[in-house]
Amino acid sequence: MRKTLMRLAGFLGVTAILLSVPGVAIWGDWVDLGGILTSGPSVTSRAANSLEVFVRGANGALWQKSWDGLAWGEWKDLGGILTSDPDCTSWGLTRIDCFARGPDGALWHKAWDGETWEAWVNLDGSLTSGPTAASPSEGHIDVFARGVNNALWQRSGILIGEEFSAGAVSWSAWEDLGGLLTSDPDCVSRSVNTMDCFARGPDGALWQNAWNGASWSGWLRLGGIPTSGPTVASWGENQLDVFVRGPGNTLWQSSWNGTAWSNWVDVGGILASDPDCVSWSVNRIDCFVNGPNSELWHKAWF
């Protein structure tokens, strides 16, 4: 059974005290990666030890920072006019898709084909939150957002042929999945043809709606006291780790092992946004937040 033993003594200028036990996973320290953020971050991984982080910058555009396994690259301006946190996902070694709410309230999409970024494309809709995207199978991507009725809405994209390009994706119509969301949603696929979506509900607790490949479970209350939208990562089949900003504006974590949810654990930090986390291998999670100085902060679980 996975266990995490830690106590973070602070966010800025204070060293974390980590109880390191052989065979027991621990959290590393928070690290400031700079930048000027006006949104929460989004992170995705194309391969082991590879990370791509995206944020809205001071000019309202999408900015990217990459980790190649050895060092962080410089920030890159990818353009656009974002009115929400961005969300980006990789569904292949040479494919990244980014989504955000645009100035017209619709869903906007920008894709990388392994060499170049394509122009922003309007995918319609009326969003009242930032979007979230996940890929449940090869050549398939699902995008979710809160609609004007505060329910979760879904739109699916299917790759046409074998070549990635904006025009090679066939998009379904928007579908209402119900619920009453009071935050941005976040979704992840923990195995082929599954999807788990999370959001803060009208009672301030965390709620979940799961797709088993045939039908949605309906919204289930998981409790907690999130003060932000959630983020969810999966480092193994039937393994889920959900993170939120909780009381004290620190990062809180709850894990599901395929049978039951763990108690909430305070991971520390000082969050000024929704967090975003990703796993690029078994027993590895990387979390990113907009910190109190409006810069990007990173913390890793080993």
Q: 166: pLDDT confidence band, cut at 50, 70 and 90?
A: low
Note whether residue 244 is domain-resident. Answer: yes
Of 13 and 94, the structure prediction assigns the larger pLDDT to 94
Q: Which of 245, 232, 239, 282 has the alpha carbon at shortest distance from 43?
A: 232
Which own/partner contact pairs does 79-82 have at CB distance under 8 Å and 24+ positions apart? 79/120, 80/108, 80/110, 80/120, 82/39, 82/56, 82/108
Query: Confidence class of residue 66 from pLDDT cuts 50, 70 and 90?
Result: very high
Which residues, including other chains, have CB under 8 Å from residue 198's CB and lie 6 or more apart?
185, 186, 187, 206, 207, 208, 222, 230, 232, 242
User: In the predicted model, what is the mean pLDDT of the chain?
Assistant: 90
Q: How confident is the model at residue 158 (pLDDT cuts 50, 70, 90)?
A: very high
214: helix, coil or strand? coil
Average pLDDT over residues 133-146: 94
pTM (two decimals): 0.90
User: Would 111 be classed as within a structural domain?
Assistant: yes
Domain with residue 48: its CATH number is 2.120.10.70
Q: Is residue 249 in a domain?
A: yes
Residue 99 sits in which domain range? 6-301
Model confidence at 30, pLDDT cuts 50, 70, 90, reads: very high
**Does residue 1 sit within a domain?**
no
Looking at the structure of the chain, the number of domains it has is 1
The proportion of the chain whose per-residue pLDDT surpasses 90, expressed as a percent, equals 82
- Summarize pLDDT for 184-193 with one digit per residue, the tens: 999 999 999 9
pLDDT digits (tens, 9 = 90+) for 225-245: 999 999 999 998 889 999 999
> Percentage of the chain with pLDDT > 70?
90
Q: Is residue 188 a contact partner of residue 172, using CB atoms and an 8 Å limit?
A: no
Contact 144, 131 (CB under 8 A): yes
The per-residue pLDDT for 4 is: 25
pLDDT average, residue stretch 70-82? 98
> Which token pair is 158?
């299917």
- Give a yes or no: residue 291 inside a domain: yes
Question: Residue 138's pLDDT band (boundaries 50, 70, 90)?
Answer: confident
